[in-house]
Amino acid sequence: MKKYLFIDRDGTLAAEPEDEQIDSCDKVVFEPMVIPALLKLQDFGYSLVMVSNQDGLGTPSFPLENFNKPHRLIVDTLESQGIIFEQILICPHKSEEQCECRKPKLGLVLPYLKDLNWDREHSCFIGDRQGDVQMGKNMGITPILYDRQKHGWAMIADELTSAHRTATVERNTRETQIKVTVDLDSPGHSRFDTGMGFFDHMLDQIATHGGISLEVTCKGDLEVDEHHSIEDTGICLGQAILKALGDKRGIGRFGFTLPMDEVYAQVFAENLDDDGVTVALDISGRPHVEFDFDAEFTRDKAGEMPAQMVPHFFESLAVALGLTLHMKVTSGNCHHQIEALFKAFGRALRTALSRRGNELPSSKGKL
Ligand SMILES: [Mg+2]
Ligand SMILES: [Zn+2]
């Protein structure tokens, strides 16, 4: 999904003159580092929209021709450096006119607000005034207050491009109440409480070896059996990772093997698109899971986890995440067999989730 930076012009892209009106070309001075910062942000996948109030534009106090020349200079200069604004939205009214389009009112951005097909969670409004901050809030996106000294462009670009991919998914049914939170870019903050010690231990393998943080609480109908709790946790985990992945730009894909004591587990993970278009392998467009467990599990249970719930857990997760997943494990101690599968899955996931650059790893241009 597209993510946007809505950006104020005066005082944010170009320095605001004392009389607060950029009405000639010699008043055009860019804010420090705005060009490299916007290039970096654009590269990171943001689309840009300019949103500006120009008080009394087109009236004798601010004739259109006095606005147009410096405005063109600003836009053309940015464009010549590769910075493209998808749209430039301008309110020409004075505040006393009580129009519907003056920031922080929403008139200018209504077409965007009506479109549900972009990523609110990762979009921002950047501006130098409290009105801009309010505008971000009114739009339901993150407001960022620009301040040349304290919160300049270099800092904003750094913050936005190192933002963690996080998500929370909750699922409440008669059988289970589950909350899963993931942070794909910061390991070490994991917590598990599923009521099943062995399952907690296995989820910890995914987090630890996946290099991610994972918080899972599950209150399930364990008095019936473990089935619902394990299955639904798999679904929520898959949904949470998918949600956190966002537009999936820059992520890797991976095949992996892992020896563990006497057993040998193989995992091959590959991200597929969420609406079912095949991007790799010979699979016709749906999440796909292949288990090749050479030997059956050597016991029915490890801790309170039924061995047959292991493939079911991964299947639930893979379907929710849109994952093509092949898993193979050799014979050996049942605890080791299961643990090796979770560890190997974590390792494969780590590489599949890792980000490098900004390209969509798909020659189809869609993941
Ligand atoms: Mg401003
Ligand atoms: Zn207006």
Residues 13 and 142 in one domain: yes
Instruction: With a cut of 90, say whether residue 231 has pLDDT above it.
Output: yes
**Is 10 part of the annotated catalytic residue set?**
yes
* Domain count across the chain: 2
Single out the residue in 161, 181, 199 at which a domain terminates.
Answer: 161
- CATH number, residue 340: 3.30.230.40
State the catalytic residue, choosing from 8, 128, 200, 232: 8
Residue 65 belongs to domain spanning: 3-161
Residues 188 and 262 in one domain: yes
CA of 121 to the centre of ligand 1 (A): 23
Q: Does 73 reside within a domain?
A: yes
Ligand nearest to the CA of 129: 1
Instruction: With a cut of 80, say whether residue 207 has pLDDT above it.
Output: yes
pLDDT digits (tens, 9 = 90+) for 67-113: 999 999 999 999 999 999 999 999 999 999 999 999 999 999 999 99
Residues 193 and 311 in one domain: yes
Residues 157 and 185 in one domain: no
Ligand nearest to the CA of 127: 1
State the catalytic residue, choosing from 10, 128, 200, 232: 10
- pTM score of the predicted model: 0.60
CA of 15 to the centre of ligand 1 (A): 9
Question: Among residues of the chain, what percentage have pLDDT more than 70?
Answer: 85
Lowest mean pLDDT of 56-60, 96-100, 238-242, 291-295, name the range: 291-295
- CATH number, residue 114: 3.40.50.1000
Ligand nearest to the CA of 148: 1
CA of 110 to the centre of ligand 1 (A): 20
pLDDT digits (tens, 9 = 90+) for 271-329: 333 222 121 222 223 578 877 665 567 677 778 888 888 889 999 998 988 888 877 77
* Spatial distance between the Cα atoms of 210 and 356, rounded to a whole number of angstroms: 16
CA of 62 to the centre of ligand 2 (A): 15
**Is 23 part of the annotated catalytic residue set?**
no
